[in-house]
Amino acid sequence: MTGKRIMLDVLGGETVFPPPIWMMRQAGRYLPEYRETRKRAGGFLDLCYNPDLAVEVTLQPIERFGFDASILFSDILVVPHALGRGVAFEEGRGPVLTPITAAEVGELDAEAFHVNLAPVYETVRRLRKKLPDETTLIGFCGAPWTVATYMIAGHGTPDQAPARLFAYREPQAFARLLRILAEQSAAYLIRQIEAGADAVQIFDSWSGVLDEACFEAFCVEPVAEIVRRVHAVHPNVPVIGFPKGAGHRYSGYRQKTGIQGLGLDWTVPLAAARDLQRGGAVQGNLDPLRLVAGGKALSEGVDAILRALGDGPLIFNLGHGITPETPIAHVEAMVRQVRSIQG
């Protein structure tokens, strides 16, 4: 008998208590088994494109903690890589890309896009077969704005000034870049769904650095286009949007983009989160450093979220990805607390 995937019920607007729980970046460096697999893989992209190893690391936190959802192990930058851009991951520095120029935007090569991403689709197919029936499988991509920031600067920056300047100085090229990324990202998510993903998440990690007009043009509109394209093919597959740092612009984001689940970062006040929850499922929003600290800081943070949001559609998660220094015992304590508190 197929298990009940309660996260999908919540994304459909139902209240489940205790709520389903998973963590962004749950397959990662805080786990010793991940570090061992990572050594065997060679480079980080080698790990992303190796279905055997990508399945292995995706399953590791499910086997250890029994989370209600599993998110594909990959990276948001496989999209520009699949479009023919140079992408590498350097130890201690992170992603390094060949910066794109305005003239090169029109040269992005989508011809081999799905061929290049075939190993990712194979990973999704294998995961759906190996995961417990009750575990929701989440596919994902980066939002066009966030992916564009790395493509333009060639690396992460504190305020994404290179991308913002590019958008102001080369508006036509930038609009074209966002359009290409939206089209290809939607196609990427559709293929993940066809391979077995139950839901998908769009990560907009740098939405918080934009002014009002740019937020609408660079964050809202491209994500809305992705959602339209995904739902045109798979109308019943829920989409989670995570516009990190959006602040008061979280209000209206769900309606404008068409997402079903709204991911909240840890700076969103719980009273505001409660208001946002009236429009549908919310996901989050524990400060990842409370999980690092453990003890009273952790238990109080978990309790506050459950008390404020537990009687509505909630997916318990962190307000951003888990950090490598997080003790495993603290994750175990968090899961126990979320699942032991009764409504």
298 vs 288: CA distance, rounded Å: 9
Rg (CA), the chain: 19
**In this structure, which amino acid lies at residue 71?**
I
* Full DSSP string of 154-202: SS--SS-HHHHHHHHH-HHHHHHHHHHHHHHHHHHHHHHHHHT-SEEEE
**In this structure, which amino acid lies at residue 279?**
G
Helix, strand, coil shares of the chain as percentages rounded to 5? 55, 15, 35
- How many residues does the structure list for the chain? 343
pTM over 0.95: yes
Query: Residues 275, 276, 279, 280: is their CA dihedral positive or negative?
Result: negative
Q: Which residues contact 313 (CB under 8 A, 6 or more apart)?
A: 10, 11, 13, 14, 15, 16, 277, 280, 281, 282
pLDDT, tens only, 221-265:
999 999 999 999 999 999 999 999 999 999 999 999 999 999 999
First to last CA, the chain: 28
Residues labelled as active-site residues: 25, 29, 38, 75, 150
pLDDT, tens only, 136-183:
999 999 999 999 999 999 999 999 999 999 999 999 999 999 999 999
Both tokens of 248, joined, read: 């008061």
The label of the residue with tokens 């109308």 reads 235
Q: What is the mean pLDDT of residues 36-47?
A: 94
pLDDT (0 to 100) of residue 94: 86
Architecture per CATH, domain 6-340, reads as: Alpha-Beta Barrel (3.20)
Return phi, psi of residue 317, to 5°: -160, 175
